[in-house]
Amino acid sequence: MSKSSPVTIVEVGPRDGFQSIGPFIPTATKIALIGRLHDAGLRRMEITSFVSPSALPQLADAEDVVSAAATLHDLDSQVLVPTLRHAERALAAGARHLSAVLSVSERHNIGNVRRTPLESAADYAAIIAAASPDIRIRLNLATSFDCPHVGCIGEEAVLGLLEILLAATTDVEVALCDTTGRADPRHVRSLFASAQARFPEVSAWAFHGHDTFGLGAANALAAWDAGVRVFDAAIAGLGGCPFAPGATGNVATEDLVWMFSRMGADTGIELDRLLAVARNVADLPGAQVGGRVRQAMEARACLAVAQ
């Protein structure tokens, strides 16, 4: 794959980021932020999750967010669906791109959805069967590298589970997720290389990384070296995982845009407009933010004013 081939950044702030914020963000604010991210050039976003509103009240407005995002030109909106029941709700609401998720780690999966990975794999096959062929599917394997409960996850556990999951379809984008942010670049490069070699028929591969230990961009680069061209990121590095204690936000969208543009890999995203959104997101009540580029650019702006 060419070093300069374009990179797709999937903005997951409206899902992975917002779900970690306690105070309810008004639906109109969420929709406005999604619109501004779209204005900055993002054409793919994970805009919400269909989960039990009592478990995650922040995302109780999933239906309204889906209808609003459908009006944005050329936006590929995916929604996270942890079970068949929630996938059916998402499809009924008009979702066209389902982002299924299960954990490689049994303890993490049981903590999330009270079922084993194999039980979730059966549910995933039922989601594939329920979705018409024009519905796009992303398969997220959470804790592909590390689990907050049991630590490092071996490659064979990931590949063995993928073998079962891919029996349903290989016409799917598979995201290997560093849920805790404890992966390292060598592990990321190695797992993607092994997975791609074993399952060459998979349509596309993606990397979902958190920046808990400051390796979010380094891990994304390792995945890029392995040929991955789809990366999840959250505006302002927002987020955390409610089921992964101590995990901080996703790698910041602006950090990946900065890195890839410096490398000459086009993301189609305008950094200045993105940074303006990042500043507003950082000001949301209850937001925990991260990343480096936003602050570096703010410091540079202050310097320019002082000169």
Catalytic residues: 241
| Beta strand ranges found along the chain (DSSP E) | 8-11, 44-49, 76-81, 97-103, 136-142, 146-147, 151-152, 173-178, 204-209, 230-233
Interface segment toward Zn ion; rule CB under 5 A; list 11-19, 35-43, 92-100, 270-278: 11-19
Size of site (CB under 5 A) for Zn ion: 1
Output 16 or 254, the one with its CB closest to Zn ion.
16
Residue nearest to Zn ion (CB): 16
Quote the least distance from Cβ 210 to Zn ion, whole Å: 6
Rounded CA separation 223/231 (Å): 9
Quote the least distance from Cβ 14 to Zn ion, whole Å: 13
Quote the least distance from Cβ 17 to Zn ion, whole Å: 9
What are residue 152's phi and psi, to 5 degrees? -60, 135
Quote the least distance from Cβ 10 to Zn ion, whole Å: 11
CA angle 130, 131, 135 (to 5 degrees): 175
Site string for Zn ion, 13-52 (x = CB under 5 A): ---x------------------------------------
Rounded CA separation 242/141 (Å): 16
Amino acid at 106: E
Output 143 or 169, the one with its CB closest to Zn ion.
143
Interface segment toward Zn ion; rule CB under 5 A; list 10-18, 48-56, 72-80, 285-293: 10-18
